[in-house]
Every structure is written in structure tokens, then in C-alpha cells.
């Protein structure tokens, strides 16, 4: 069986809903509270590859740190990855990884895509 990992923020309702949906389906994922244990640049790059997204596409642009430090700036992919590892609150949540695939749990029902074989 494929191991599931959720990059989770327990204070986020969508993250909690996504975790609950996984558990309702009988999946007990490895939980990474990414604000306390941010992914490394290499891990984030691998997650983005599985998502099929560019770094800027998973940046939370409503966060105060984004507005203060990054709004209006054009960054390279490597610079966005560095920004997200430096300020992990910028990483969209939740992200669920299963094997070679991953989805953003926005909406939480997106996780169903990983449950279908």
C-alpha cells in the first residue's frame, strides 16, 4: 500500500478537513507539521514535481510575510523555493503526497484523486 504524507497545519480548517477525509477512507498518513518542520529545498522541489506545479503556484499570497517581503517581485523558481523554506507559512496547505503523486487539499476533496488507483 502506498504511504500517504500530509503537509499539515492543524490551525487550518482545510488542512483538518483533508486529514479527516483521509482517515474516513481508512488512510492514516504521516503528518508533517510543516510550520515546525519545513521541507528542505530538495524535498519541496520533489513535492512540486509530484504536484506538477511551479513554485509560485503554491505560494500563499495573502500572507502578511508575502505582502511585506515578496509582493511585486519577480523571483525565479529557485528563489521562490528559498522563500518558502525560509518562510514556510508561504506554502499552500495542505499538500498530500502518495507515492509519485501529490495534490493540494484545496478543496479537501482533491485528495480523492490519490485514493483512486
Q: Which residues form the catalytic set?
A: 12
Helices (H), 25-107: 41-51, 64-69, 77-86
Record the cell numbers describing residue 113, joined without a space.
484523486
Contacts of residue 86, Cβ cutoff 8 Å, sequence gap at least 6: none
Query: Distance between CA atoms of 107 and 17, rounded to whole angstroms?
Result: 9
Helices (H), 13-54: 13-24, 41-51
The CB density around residue 11, as the number of other CB atoms within 10 Å, is 10
Amino acid at each position: 500500500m502506498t504511504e500517504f504524507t500530509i503537509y499539515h497545519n492543524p490551525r487550518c480548517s482545510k488542512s483538518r478537513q483533508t486529514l479527516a477525509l483521509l482517515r474516513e477512507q481508512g488512510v492514516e498518513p504521516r503528518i508533517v507539521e510543516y510550520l515546525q518542520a519545513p521541507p528542505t529545498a530538495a524535498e519541496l522541489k520533489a513535492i512540486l514535481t509530484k504536484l506538477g506545479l511551479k513554485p509560485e503556484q503554491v505560494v500563499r499570497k495573502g500572507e502578511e510575510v508575502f505582502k511585506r517581503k515578496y509582493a511585486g517581485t519577480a523571483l525565479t523558481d529557485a528563489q521562490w523555493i528559498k522563500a518558502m523554506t525560509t518562510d514556510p507559512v508561504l506554502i499552500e496547505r495542505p499538500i498530500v503526497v502518495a507515492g509519485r503523486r501529490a495534490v493540494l487539499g484545496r478543496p479537501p476533496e482533491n485528495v480523492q484523486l490519490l485514493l483512486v488507483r
